[in-house]
Amino acid sequence: MKFQVQMKDPDVLIDAIQEAVKADVSKSITDPDEIEALTELRTERLQELCGKWWRYGEYLTVEVDSDAGTCVVVPSRS
């Protein structure tokens, strides 16, 4: 049997992206202004990429297949 579940959290995606990008950028750059500028740019790029799966940056749909024992992310239709 297959069924889909849609999850909504308006902050979780952007918070996770910003945290990951800032940690990555801070490894090689020490200037706070540079870190902020680069974090903003990379965050925008990752949000665009995640648009493949996240609708409006807050809705994520997964499909569970109990027969196959799998759970996959359904591409966004936006």
pLDDT at 31: 93
User: How far apart (Å, rounded) are the C-alpha atoms in residues 29 and 33?
Assistant: 10
Q: Residue 70: beta bridge partners?
A: 65
Could you tell me the pLDDT band of residue 78, with boundaries at 50, 70 and 90? low
Do the Cβ atoms of 65 and 4 come closer than 8 Å? no
H/E run at residue 45? helix 32-50
Q: Residue 62: beta bridge partners?
A: 5, 73
pLDDT at 7: 95
pLDDT tens for each residue of 1-48: 999 999 999 999 999 999 999 999 999 999 999 999 999 999 999 999
As a whole number, mean pLDDT of residues 66-77 equals 96
Q: Is the pLDDT of residue 60 over 90?
A: yes
